[in-house]
Structure 1
Amino acid sequence: MNTADPQRVITIARSWLGTPYHDQASLRGVGCDCLGLGRGVWREAVGPEPFPIPSYSRDWGETGPREVLAEGARRMMIEVLPAEIGPGALLLFRMKPRAIAKHVGILTGPGTFLHAYERLGVVEEPLTPSWRRRIAFAFLFPQH
């Protein structure tokens, strides 16, 4: 499976900057959550979403052993080791130690990433050591 052009993925992701935060939404300029951002970038970079996303609560994944986001991403994306990430990669973060990965971002440069964050909406910010150590999984978008 060939990968999508990372620069194109970043350009698409940046077109979502300023989109307000809204749970379970995925509409550029209108509202999205972190997963909705990843889904929106997928639709433009790759094509139609390959399967529907079931509705989820704000506290989904607080308990339980399954890495739901990683399992879904593995079905349609190219997994890479977090140590080998480059710009354009989709990142899955653990928000608490030993919790499942449930936050999504897109690496935009060696030290920056873009994500949808509650109260802030879609923002691009530094991939600080605190964020970097939370990366649990990384994936590349496949070619269209």
Structure 2
Amino acid sequence: MTPEERIVAEARSWVGTPYQHQCSTRGAGTDCLGLVRGVWRAVIGAEPEVVPPYTPDWAEPAAQEVLLAAALRCLCPKPVGASAPGDVLLFRMNDRAIAKHLGIQSSLNPARFIHAYTGHGVIESSLSLPWERRIAARFAFPKGAF
């Protein structure tokens, strides 16, 4: 199994986990960051840094790109259009908002992604045009870590 296939398989194993802010436990509760953290732990090992407490709005009132900054420290940036299964997607929920939602691309044809969504838990969704337009950044997990 390739590293990308391992990432997608692990992310799919989280489907059905309830949404729980600031949690990262498969089957018990997670948020979107917790899903990415849990996949990292299962596929790579220890997390690269301690995650400080965060609010559900991700510092939106202060217009601070906290999640984007963390992703740039820990993941490998890719062009937004360079889609591959296993990529971490960072979304802006509207054009003027900070980036505050994460998902993992699970397939290309059809385009799908796995994410923890308030009120739904971890689900696999179509990467439809409305979601695709919200992608602020795309990342790969570090290759040397596998």
Of residues 36, 40, 43 in structure 1, which corresponds to 2:34? Answer: 36
Equivalent residue number for residue 96 of structure 2? 98
Q: Distance in 2 between matches of 1:105 and 1:118?
A: 13
Equivalent residue number for residue 105 of structure 2? 107
Give 4+ residue runs of structure 1 displaced > 3 Å after superposition. Answer: none
Q: Distance in 1 between matches of 2:79 and 2:99?
A: 15
Q: Distance in 1 between matches of 2:55 and 2:62?
A: 14
Gaps of 5+ in 2: none
Equivalent residue number for residue 134 of structure 1? 134
**Aligned residue identity for 1:103:** H
Gaps of 5+ in 1: none
Q: Distance in 2 between matches of 1:60 and 1:93?
A: 12
Q: Distance in 2 between matches of 1:37 and 1:117?
A: 10
- RMSD of Structure 2 on Structure 1 (CA): 1.2
Deviations 1:31-64 (A, max 9, x none): 0000100100011111111111111112233233
Higher relative contact order (CA 8 A, sep 6+): 1
Q: Identity, % of aligned pairs?
A: 48
TM-score by length of 2: 0.92
SS of the equivalent of 2:62 reads: coil
TM-score by length of 1: 0.93
**Aligned residue identity for 1:76:** C
Residues 63 and 99 in structure 1, CA contact (< 8 A), matched pair in contact too: no
Deviations 1:57-100 (A, max 9, x none): 12233233432112111212111011112110000000121211
